[in-house]
Chains A and B, each alone.
Chain A
C-alpha cells in the first residue's frame, strides 16, 4: 500500500517564479512529482495550488479547509511569496469566507498551525525578499516572523533563492519523506538545508582562479572574475556553480553576469547595487588568497 502525502501550496506576495522554477525539475520531472512517486512508494497528493489546479472559487477553498481540518498534523504546507501583515494584511487576499475576503496572513496562521511542517519556498517566503525591500510597502514578512508573532511552533524549513533551483525544493521534500524533518545539524542559522546552501558561490566558482590572480573583468564580455562588476558570490551561500541551472545548462556567472546574492537574507537591499563592487569590509574571509582585491584600494 503506497503512502499519500497531502500538500497545500499557497502563494502570498509572490510572482509565481518559484512554481515555474519547480516545473523545470529535470529528474524527477514535474510529471513524476505530481502523478508518479516522489520516492518509491510515496506519492505527493497536491490538494491546492492556484496555478495548476483544475477547480476554482469556493470549491477549491473548501478543499483546502477540508484538508486542514481532516488531516491535521499530516499535511505539508508550502508557501511562496512574502506575507503582507498587520494593517497591510489586506494587500494579499485569497478567496472569501461568509462573503468576507480572507487575507494571506490569516490563511498562513490557520494552515501552518494545522500542518506537519512548513516549507518556505523562495527568498520572499524565507526572508521577505523583493516585496519586503525598502520601503516595504505591504509590511511584508517572511513565514518564520509571522509564525513567531502568532506563537505557532510548527517546524519551518527555508528553501530560498529568487527563484530556488528546483533540485533544492525537490531535494528538501525528498529528504523529509525519506529521513523525516531536518535536525538543527542539517540546517544553517537561516534554516537553509546545508546540503544545498553549505558553501559560498565563491568557493566553487570556475572563475575563482581569476580572482586569486587579481584578473578582473572591467565590462561585460571580458574575461576574468566578475567581482568588480558587482558579483555577490563571495557572500552568497548556494551550490549554483556545481549544480548549474535549467537541467545543468548554464548558470548566472556562466552567462558572464554577476551573482546578485538572491539566496541571502540580505537580498535585495544589502546585496545591491547589483552592478557595483562589494565593499571589502562586508566580506567574510574566504580562502588564503584574499590580498589582490585589497591591493587596489
Chain B
C-alpha cells in the first residue's frame, strides 16, 4: 500500500489537494481537499440585498457571470418579480451568461486540460512556416520552459504533427476566448466581474450596431467550435480511447437547466429552458428536479457539526478548522441523500434524455464518430465531449437570441425591496448546477447560501461516509506509473474543478 498525494492540483481554478491510497496499482481510496476558505456567506450578511449580485460574482473570476445570473434570479424571486423580467432582459441575460460559458469551455479544453494529452515539446521538431509555431520553437530552443515544464512525463501518445497542430490550436484558442470576453463586455460592461445583469433585468439597452458586432464575433467562435474544438476533442478521445471508460464516477447526474426560453412562469424548476432541469443516471431515464431534496453535509468538512444536513434555505456556515474527521473546506451537498455529479455532462445528458431533438443529433453523431455507446459519456472523455457539445449548443442558441432583441423596448423592471422575504435562484453555470438562496430581514440580507457546481463534484464524504463524485471517479482506477500519475490528474481535470466556487 502506498500513498499518492498531489498538492496542488494545477490547471484548475484554486486550491485543491488529492490524496490517494494505492494497493496493487489500483486506487483504493481517494480524498479531495479544498484548501481555501474566504467566507462569502458570512460577508454577505447584513448587506443591501442588491449587493449580492456584485459580491457573489467575486466568488469566482473564471465563472463570475453565472454567479451574477444566479444572484439576479435569487433576488428577482425574493423581490417577487421573477415572472416580470422583460423579454429583452431575459434574452440579454441568456446572451451574457451563454457567451461567457462558451468561452469558458474553450479555455478549459485548451488551456487547462490539453497539456495532459499534448506534448508541446514536439514543436521543437517543427519545420513548417507557421510563425506562431516557430515562435514556440524559438521559446523551446531558449531553454527556459516554464510554465510548460516540469510536468508528468511518459504517457503522451499523439503523433508529432498532431502535437504541433494542437499547440497551434492552444495559441489560437487564447485569441478565441478573448473574443468571447469582448462579446460579454459588449453586453455587460467588462469581464471578469461584469455589471450588466442586475435584479429586474439588465442595465444596457440593445442597439442595432451592438447586435451586428456581437453576431459577427459570435460567428468566429462558432467557426472555431465546429471546425477545431469538437474535431480536436474527438481526435484526442480516439487516441486516448481507454479514457472513454476511465473515471466513470457516481453515475448520477443533476442539472438545474439554463437559459430561460420563457420568463412568464415564476417557478425556475419547471420553466422552459434551453438545457432541461432534472436528473439522470446510467440508464439515461429522465427524472424531475425537486430542489427540496437538496441538503449539505459537513461531518467531514471544517464546519461545526451542528450545521449538517440542512437544506440551503436553512443553511449556515460556521468554520471549525482542525475538526476531527474533517479534511476539506468543501461541504458535501447531496440530492435525495445520494451522491450526484453536476456539469456539462449532466446538462447534456439530462437534455438528451428528455428527447431534445438538437441535442439528440449532437450526442448521437459524436458517439457514432467515436464508435462508442452512450455509456462512454460517463468517463473522462465523455465529460470533455459533453463540454464541447455544450459550447456548440449554447453558441448556436445565442445566434438566434441576438436577433430576437428589440431595440427601444425595455430591458429592466423596477421593484421595491421587501422588508422580509426569501428566495432562491438556480441555473447551470459552466461547471454545472449553481444555486443561491437568500433570506431578507429589515431589507437586509439575513442569510445567504450558495451551493456551487464544484461543491457537488469536489465534495468530501457525506454524513453516511459516501465519497464525493471526484473521489468516486478516482477510486478503482489503475495507476500505470505512480511517479507520473496521469490518471488522477486527467480524471480530476475532466470535472473542470473550481475551488474558489466550491468553498466560497
> A residues engaging B (CB < 8 A)?
2, 4, 6, 11-21, 23-24, 26, 29-31, 34-36, 43, 45-61, 63, 84, 88, 90-96, 101, 129-131, 133-135, 137-138, 140, 162-163, 219-221, 245-247, 249-258, 260, 262, 268, 272-276
Is B6 in contact with A36, judged by CB distance below 8 angstroms?
Answer: no
Known: A255-B196, A257-B198. A52 touches B61 (CB 8 A): no
Candidates A17, A43, A130, A245; contact of B43 at CB < 8 Å:
A130
Closest to A18 in B: B61
Candidates A90, A130, A274; contact of B321 at CB < 8 Å:
A90
Is B136's beta carbon under 8 Å from chain A?
yes
Is B380's beta carbon under 8 Å from chain A?
no
Closest to B112 in A: A51
Is B6 in contact with A55, judged by CB distance below 8 angstroms?
Answer: no
Is B147 in contact with A48, judged by CB distance below 8 angstroms?
Answer: yes
Is A220 in contact with B198, judged by CB distance below 8 angstroms?
Answer: yes
Candidates A15, A30, A52, A95; contact of B60 at CB < 8 Å:
A15
Q: Which of B34-70 contact A (CB under 8 A)?
A: 35-40, 42-43, 46-48, 50-51, 54-55, 58-62, 64
Please, how many angstroms separate the alpha-carbon atoms of A140 and B40 in the complex? 13
Known: A52-B111, A91-B36. A35 touches B139 (CB 8 A): yes
State the Cβ distance, A161 to closest chain B Cβ, in Å: 9
Is B37 in contact with A29, judged by CB distance below 8 angstroms?
Answer: no
Closest to B329 in A: A91
Listed residue (B60, B184, B195) with the most chain A CB atoms within 10 angstroms of its CB: B195
Is A35 in contact with B136, judged by CB distance below 8 angstroms?
Answer: yes
Known: A16-B500, A56-B6. A256 touches B204 (CB 8 A): yes
Looking at chain B, what size class is its interface with the partner chain?
A: 35 or more
Q: Kindly list chain A residues whose C-beta atoms are within 8 Å of the C-beta of B62.
A: 15-17, 20
Is B185 in contact with A249, judged by CB distance below 8 angstroms?
Answer: yes
Is A17 in contact with B37, judged by CB distance below 8 angstroms?
Answer: no
Please, how many angstroms separate the alpha-carbon atoms of A2 and B144 in the complex? 12
Is B238's beta carbon under 8 Å from chain A?
no
Q: Kindly list chain B residues whose C-beta atoms are within 8 Å of the C-beta of A84.
A: 37
Is B192 in contact with A163, judged by CB distance below 8 angstroms?
Answer: yes
Is A220 in contact with B60, judged by CB distance below 8 angstroms?
Answer: no
Please, how many angstroms separate the alpha-carbon atoms of A255 and B203 in the complex? 6
Please, how many angstroms separate the alpha-carbon atoms of A101 and B327 in the complex? 12
Closest to B36 in A: A92
Is A250 in contact with B186, judged by CB distance below 8 angstroms?
Answer: yes
Known: A95-B7, A275-B51. A54 touches B190 (CB 8 A): no
Is B178 in contact with A50, judged by CB distance below 8 angstroms?
Answer: no
- A-B CB contact pairs (8 Å), 12 listed: A13-B38, A36-B135, A47-B147, A55-B10, A56-B9, A90-B321, A93-B35, A220-B411, A221-B205, A255-B203, A273-B51, A275-B198
